[in-house]
Amino acid sequence: MQYRLNLKNGSKPVPENKRKKIKQVSKKREKANREYSKKSRPLWVNRQCEIRAPGCTGTAQGIHHKKGKSSIELLLNMDYWMAACNHCNLWVEVHDKQARELGFKLPRLR
């Protein structure tokens, strides 16, 4: 859009290779993500899924965060982690009420 505006106004357009990209993750979150990877990988690699929802694949493929991961503190707090397969992790998000009753999902603000 900026390119077309520059053409219309007669100014020199900015070449595509000079355009700046918006960073996907902040430096602070990037550092937290590296720490998270180091901590979480040993907890789910070659382990069984702990949720065992209907249709479970059985083998853990990642970490389920019971309280979510909206802040760096929640992301790195191992008290709320569970090894889970992708199917069960999605099941918890889709079946919110059942997941809360079974203790797979906790309120973030308490």
Could you report the per-residue pLDDT of 74-97, keeping only the tens digit for each? Answer: 999 999 999 999 999 999 999 999
Number of Cβ within 10 Å of residue 61's Cβ equals: 16
Q: pTM here?
A: 0.75
**88 is a domain residue:** yes
Domain count, the chain: 1
Residue 5 falls inside a structural domain: no
* Domain ranges, residue 95: 23-102
What mean pLDDT do residues 20-47 have? 93
| Residues 55-64 pLDDT 10s | 999 999 999 9
On the question of pLDDT at 100 being above 90, the answer is yes
Mean pLDDT on 4-9 = 74
